[in-house]
């Protein structure tokens, strides 16, 4: 027998042995097994053929599936096991990218914010403050419809009861929005001369506008009419 044939047979024997061991200790017919055993069985399912997609999915696919679960079933649907099942992969595949549920949820939050406030195709929305405000409120309404309960849960629930990483995640996301408002206010050619002073800076006005945005998120009221009038009377 050639050496390559021998090595192939040896590898095949090793596979069969491992498969028998998984089946011996974790029978797929035994539904009474505790979660720890179930998880181990899922990680061994490459031998038992339980997975619909045995190949590890990508991080982008996992986050896409997480967003879809949030859309369909809300925040309670996002956990390692549920996302793994929806992706058709083992629990271990999800842990390859996210070390805990907290990491998974945090990444899902970031991806949702990116989806809601993705860079607009029309650059004109950043040329003046009124256009920027209209666009932001439209995107908030889109986010509320696409991800029911996201704004309320993220602002009032998720960060308060989670880790410092979650709080930092939200601060970073909100800082991006504040920075965008500040840039528009600094470069808006329609703002009257002398509108801003040392006591009333573009940064401070951006903070006021952002506070009104947060209020709109929580109340789910996305009519920007009053905010637009405040902008007109204050800086134009």
Whether 226 is in a domain gets the answer: yes
Whether 93 is in a domain gets the answer: no
What digits encode the pLDDT tens for the residues 109-154?
888 888 888 777 777 888 899 999 999 999 999 988 888 877 776 6
Q: Are the beta carbons of 136 and 222 closer than 8 angstroms?
A: no
* Residues 122, 223 within the same domain: yes
* Residues 137, 227 within the same domain: yes
pTM of the entire structure?
A: 0.65
Average pLDDT over residues 63-88: 86
Whether 30 is in a domain gets the answer: yes
Whether 231 is in a domain gets the answer: yes
Whether 67 is in a domain gets the answer: no
* Residues 22, 121 within the same domain: no
* Residues 133, 38 within the same domain: no
Structure tokens at 98: 């996210």
The closest alpha carbon to 55, from 96, 104, 3, 109, belongs to 96
Q: Which helix (H) or strand (E) holds 218?
A: helix 202-219
Residue 20: predicted pLDDT: 45
* Residues 121, 228 within the same domain: yes
State the angle between helix axes of 129-146 and 164-187 in degrees (0 to 180), rounded to the nearest 10: 150
Residue where a domain terminates, one of 50, 70, 88: 50
Whether 78 is in a domain gets the answer: no
Q: How many domains does the chain have?
A: 2
Residue 151: predicted pLDDT: 76
Please indicate whether residue 23 or residue 120 has the higher confidence score (pLDDT): 120
Whether 69 is in a domain gets the answer: no
* Residues 137, 214 within the same domain: yes
Q: Which helix (H) or strand (E) holds 69?
A: helix 59-73
Average pLDDT over residues 50-73: 75
Residue 1: predicted pLDDT: 54
Whether 66 is in a domain gets the answer: no
Residues in the chain: 236
CA 14 from chain centre, in angstroms, equals 41
What digits encode the pLDDT tens for the residues 87-102?
999 899 999 999 888 8
Q: Which residue range forms the structural domain that includes residue 16?
A: 1-50
pLDDT at 59 over 50: yes
Structure tokens at 3: 């050496």
């Amino acid at each position: 027998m050639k050496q390559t044939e021998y090595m192939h047979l040896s590898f095949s024997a090793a596979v069969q042995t491992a498969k028998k061991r998984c089946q011996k200790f974790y029978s797929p017919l035994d539904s009474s097994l505790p979660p720890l055993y179930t998880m181990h069985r899922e990680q061994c399912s490459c031998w038992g053929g339980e997975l619909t997609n045995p190949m590890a999915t990508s991080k982008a696919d996992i986050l896409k599936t997480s967003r879809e679960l949030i859309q369909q079933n809300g925040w309670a649907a996002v956990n390692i096991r549920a996302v793994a099942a929806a992706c058709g992969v083992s629990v271990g595949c999800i842990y390859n990218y996210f070390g805990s549920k907290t990491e998974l949820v945090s990444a899902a939050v970031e991806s949702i914010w990116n989806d809601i406030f993705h860079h607009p195709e029309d650059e004109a929305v950043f040329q003046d403050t009124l256009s920027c405000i209209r666009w932001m409120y439209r995107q908030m309404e889109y986010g509320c419809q696409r991800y029911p309960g996201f704004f309320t849960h993220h602002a009032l629930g998720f960060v308060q009861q989670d880790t410092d990483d979650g709080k930092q995640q939200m601060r970073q996301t909100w800082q991006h929005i504040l920075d965008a408002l500040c840039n528009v206010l600094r470069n808006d050619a329609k703002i009257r001369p002398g509108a801003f002073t040392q006591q009333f800076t573009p940064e401070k006005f951006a903070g006021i506008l952002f506070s009104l945005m947060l209020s709109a998120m929580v109340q789910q009221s996305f009519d920007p009419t009053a905010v637009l009038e405040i902008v007109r009377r204050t800086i134009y």
